Amino acid sequence: MKLRITNAVLGLICCFSTTDAFAPINRHVLNQKISVFLKTRSNGSSALRVNLPRLDLPDAVTDKLTDFDLKNPNAMNEEEYRSYAGAAVAGTLLFFLLPGALLSGVYSDLGSVTIAIVVDFLLSALIGGGVLIYLSLRNDSIGEQVRENGFKLFSVVKNATGIKTFRYNIPDTITGVMTGQLDLLNPNSMDEKDYDGYSGAAVAGTLAFFLLPGAIATGVPEILGGFAGLFIVNFLFSALIGGGLSIYLSLRNDDIGATVNQAGAKLLDAVDDVIGDVKK
């Protein structure tokens, strides 16, 4: 019931998220928007729509645009402004992924970031996960407590993602050593709760080591910091060059402008489709 109310509120907010959102409410217009929203909900489609915020340009800028025979974004209706904004996003994204990433060195650093993260994960699974696995298999109160904590963690993950318990049978040669020489429990003979606790403990140990000592040992923070700097520089140049060029083309009063605006609208429509699929 709460989820339905939340979805309805979000949908209504999206319906009213226009530039006159804070103007005095016209009851007739309000009823029309509610009717459109309810009709959309009844058809099973997404009520969410990507609408980028409007930014009114100063008169000094719009006057120059008029001098160059370009459109005035301030005078555009909602659909026109959405297409214009989508074109700016598309130009920024294209420049960001292609020339911007190559010029800023993002792709060259991506390999080192990936290697550092993979090494960190393997080290964390071996050490952090290994220690928690050992503790969870102890046949005493410590083992019981670790399995209980692991079960709570795994239950949260299962409820959030809907995943099911995946059991992996360990070979008898290994379980023989575990139960005989080390006096540990045999994971193959655990019930579902204990196995979830054992699995959750392994995940918790890996994650804790991955975020703290593993990251420090492999230099992940320094590598990610450098990568973030390149990422920001790439984005700024992409917005300035790629986005700026797309903005100019979208403001042209010719077929080129119409084509660019159409591409911008299609990009935002594609994002709407993705959002709708995620909601479903």
Q: In the structure, what pLDDT confidence band is assigned to residue 160 with cuts at 50, 70 and 90?
A: confident
Label residue 50 by pLDDT band (50, 70, 90). low
Tell me the average pLDDT across 73-83.
92
User: Quick check: helix, strand or coil at residue 278?
Assistant: helix
Boundaries of domain holding 16: 1-48
Number of domains in the chain: 2
Name which of 97, 95, 127 is nearest 202 in CA terms: 127
Measure the CA dihedral 155/158/163/169, to 10°: -10
Supply the pLDDT for residue 230: 84
Whether the pLDDT of residue 46 is over 70: the answer is: no
Confidence of residue 196 (pLDDT cuts 50, 70, 90): very high
Same domain, 120 and 203: yes
Residues 32 and 114 in one domain: no
Residue 227, in any domain of the structure: no
- For residue 62, pLDDT over 70 is answered with yes
CA dist 111 to 6, 85, 209, 258, Å?
42, 33, 22, 39
* Domain contains 280: no
Question: Are 29 and 123 found together in one domain?
Answer: no
**Residue 181 pLDDT:** 86
Inside any domain, residue 136: yes
How confident is the prediction for the chain on average, in pLDDT? Answer: 81
Kindly state whether residues 213 and 114 are assigned to the same domain. Answer: yes
| 130 and 213 belong to one structural domain | yes
Contact partners, residue 198, CB within 8 Å, separation at least 6: 133, 136, 137, 147, 150, 187, 190
Mean pLDDT of 3-26: 41
Q: Do 118 and 184 lie in a common domain?
A: yes
Would you say residue 161 has pLDDT above 90? no
pLDDT in tens, 124-158: 999 999 999 999 999 999 999 999 999 998 888 88
121 and 214 belong to one structural domain: yes
Last residue of a domain, one of 218, 242, 263: 218
Predicted pLDDT of residue 42: 42
- Domain-located, residue 253: no
Q: How confident is the model at residue 279 (pLDDT cuts 50, 70, 90)?
A: low
Strand partners, 23: none
Note whether residue 130 is domain-resident: yes
pLDDT, greater one: 73 or 11: 73
Residue 162 counted as domain residue: yes
Tell me how far apart the alpha carbons of residues 133 and 152 are, in angstroms, rounded to a whole number.
15
Determine the Cα–Cα distance for residues 65 and 62; give it in Å rounded to an integer: 5
Residues 114 and 202 in one domain: yes
Same structural domain for residues 118 and 30?
no
Q: Render pLDDT for 223-245 as a digit per residue (tens, 0 to 9).
A: 888 888 888 988 998 999 999 99
Q: Which of 199, 218, 237 is the last residue of a domain?
A: 218
Predicted confidence (pLDDT) at residue 168 exceeds the cutoff of 80: yes
Mean pLDDT within 72-98:
92
Q: What is the DSSP string of 106-140?
A: HHHHHHHHHHHHHHHHHHHIIIIIHHHHHHHTBSS
Examine residue 7 and state whether it is found in any structural domain, yes or no.
yes
In a domain, 203, yes or no: yes
Domain end, chosen from 167, 186, 218, is at: 218
